[in-house]
Amino acid sequence: MSVNITFLGGADTVTGSKYLVQQGNQRVLVDCGLFQGYKQLRLRNWDPPPFQASDIDAVLLTHAHLDHSGYLPLLCQQGFKGRVHATPGTRDLCAILLPDSGHIQEEDAAFANRHGFSKHSPARPLYTKLDALNCQRQIQAEALHKTFSPLPGWRATFSNAGHILGAASVLLEVAGRRILFSGDLGRPNDLLMNPPDAPPPADTVLIESTYGDRTHPEEDILRELASALQRVCARGGVAVVPVFAVGRAQALLHAIAQLKAQGKVPHALPIFLDSPMAVHTTALFERHPHAHRLDASQLDAMNSVATMVETPEASKALAKRHGPMVILSASGMATGGRVLHHLAMHLTHHRNMVILTGFQAPGTRGATLAGGGAFLRIHGQDVPVKAEVVSLSSASAHADRTQLLAWLQSLKRAPDQVYIVHGERGASDALRQDIEHQLKWRARVPEHGSTWPA
């Protein structure tokens, strides 16, 4: 009986990854992500899925970022009763990220209702913190490189993908087919994470293409960051750094700790990590010592370089402080959370700075800032952008075009088919052309909602 894949997210876009693998009446969902960015994409989160949640037999997560895991509380709320299989790192991160996501949605809805800027009355969250907590009991940890059976007759194996703590590629074997999902692939020389494993042989490969049309510059993150922080310190300004609570926050803390130790930035420069989620994530690095590059002394320096801000009251107190100082706060694309309050406070003065630290999906506030927007829409108001905006070209946690091709080339044999996913159309199609022209393999960029043979 044939095996098919339906692309329900992460197709035509770099967000919302969901891949439904079906053989007969058995269904496995690989990734269960939220759509982010453009409003028309975010509205998909509210649409009923094109399947009955109760018909899904199992879920496999490549990693914990919300564009890969953030729909899970809603899936469980809708009636999914099966197991969610993930690496131990992903399980532990989901226990932090998903409740935080529900909490932020509740906070944003309450704020919109208090201030009356929502088009819906009342505004409501997509799901709540309780929904996210309830789904945790369905997540089962699976060790890297150890084959397990998500369903009778199906085999799955996680291998290291780099990128963030717990991130994995997934080899799914069913009905004689070997289907490899790259997940988000990290960089071979990442500041924090180990390099991705070489991929196992597969008949069908789904590969991400976030940076499928470009190569990362040779610029060094320490040099880039030092230059930015030196400028903002010299003018007594505040640097607001929207960070992904998982990965980028820890990479920036590690980098700042190194710069202070080297005397490249003042040792007394106050650093604040204003994200309970990022604070708790940083502690996980000690629990998973083999999943990253840092030794005990580096972990200690990363944990102690910043003042950890957890309560709303402590976060609000930052508004009364004067620069120079650095505030790292989630989210990385400025889509929600406490960072919006810091941006609203500090964007309007030229002495201040915003430091962007990773890919900014089209339609996000981060993309507006990266594109030189004169105003930023925050909580229903247009905030003038007077602060300097810096994009760290070397801070990405994704493999680039050359590194993606190298990962594919390390396959021991050519696959029958490559599907290019999780990228904007231009990036995905550029990678498709490289795969067809350089590797001479069959490659396709599937459209959202399409179904293709595995």
Chain segment 336-382, per-residue pLDDT in tens: 888 999 999 999 999 999 999 888 888 899 999 999 999 999 988 99
Residue 417 pLDDT level (bands cut at 50, 70, 90): very high
- What percentage of the chain has pLDDT greater than the value 70? 99
pTM of the model: 0.90
- What percentage of the chain has pLDDT greater than the value 90? 79
The pLDDT, as a whole number, for residue 118 is: 62
The pLDDT, as a whole number, for residue 187 is: 93
For residue 319, pLDDT beyond 90: no
- For residue 20, the cross-strand partners are 6, 29
Tell me which of 282 and 43 has the higher pLDDT.
43
For residue 105, pLDDT beyond 70: yes
Asked if 29 and 55 touch (Cβ cutoff 8 Å), the reply is no
Sheet (strand 353-356) strand order: 307-309, 271-274, 325-329, 238-242, 353-356, 388-391
Q: Computed from CA positions of residues 14, 60, 71, 11, in that sequence, does the dihedral angle turn out positive or negative? A: positive
- For residue 29, the cross-strand partners are 20, 59
d(CA 2, CA 22): 9
Residue-wise pLDDT for 240-283, tens only, equals 999 987 888 899 999 999 999 999 999 999 999 998 878 888 88
For residue 219, pLDDT beyond 80: no
Residue 67 pLDDT level (bands cut at 50, 70, 90): very high
Residue 119 pLDDT level (bands cut at 50, 70, 90): low
Place of tokens 């989620």: 277
* Omega before residue 195 within 30° of 0, cis: no
The pLDDT, as a whole number, for residue 61 is: 98
The pLDDT, as a whole number, for residue 326 is: 97
For residue 91, pLDDT beyond 90: yes
The pLDDT, as a whole number, for residue 110 is: 84
Residue 19 pLDDT level (bands cut at 50, 70, 90): very high
Asked if 390 and 420 touch (Cβ cutoff 8 Å), the reply is no
Half-sphere CA count of 104, side-chain side, radius 13 A? 20
Asked if 374 and 347 touch (Cβ cutoff 8 Å), the reply is no
- Please tell me the total number of residues recorded for the chain in this structure: 454
The pLDDT, as a whole number, for residue 112 is: 78
Assign 3-class secondary structure to the chain. Answer: CCEEEEEEECCCCCCCCEEEEEECCEEEEECCCCCCCCHHHHHHHHCCCCCCHHHCCEEECCCCCHHHHCCHHHHHHCCCCCEEEECHHHHHHHHHHHHHHHHHHHHHHHHHHHHCCCCCCCCCCCCCHHHHHHHHHHEEECCCCCCECCCCCCEEEEEECCCCCCCEEEEEEECCEEEEECCCCCCCCCCCECCCCCCCCCCEEEEECCCCCCCCCCCCHHHHHHHHHHHHHHCCCEEEEECCCCCHHHHHHHHHHHHHHCCCCCCCCCEEEECHHHHHHHHHHHHCHHHECCCHHHHHHHHHCCEEECCHHHHHHHHHCCCCEEEEECCCCCCCCCHHHHHHHHCCCCCCEEEECCCCCCCCHHHHHHCCCCEEEECCEEEECCCEEEECCCCCCCCCHHHHHHHHHCCCCCCCEEEEECCCHHHHHHHHHHHHHHHCCCEECCCCCCEEEC
Residue 117 pLDDT level (bands cut at 50, 70, 90): low
Q: Rounded mean pLDDT of the chain?
A: 93
Q: Can you tell me the mean pLDDT for 299-312?
A: 91
d(CA 387, CA 389): 6
The pLDDT, as a whole number, for residue 360 is: 87
For residue 404, give every residue at least 6 positions away whose Cβ sits within 8 Å of its Cβ, in sequence order, or none: 185, 207, 208, 209, 211, 212, 431
Residue 394 pLDDT level (bands cut at 50, 70, 90): confident
The pLDDT, as a whole number, for residue 37 is: 82
Residue 395 pLDDT level (bands cut at 50, 70, 90): confident
The pLDDT, as a whole number, for residue 275 is: 85
The pLDDT, as a whole number, for residue 396 is: 82
Token pair in block for residue 209: 């293409």
d(CA 437, CA 160): 28
For residue 432, give every residue at least 6 positions away whose Cβ sits within 8 Å of its Cβ, in sequence order, or none: 420, 443, 444, 445
Residue 111 pLDDT level (bands cut at 50, 70, 90): confident
d(CA 91, CA 59): 13
What are the chain's domains? 3-214+397-453 (3.60.15.10), 221-391 (3.40.50.10890)
The pLDDT, as a whole number, for residue 415 is: 98
Identify the weakest region by mean pLDDT among 182-191, 221-230, 319-328, 392-401.
Answer: 392-401
- For residue 417, the cross-strand partners are 204
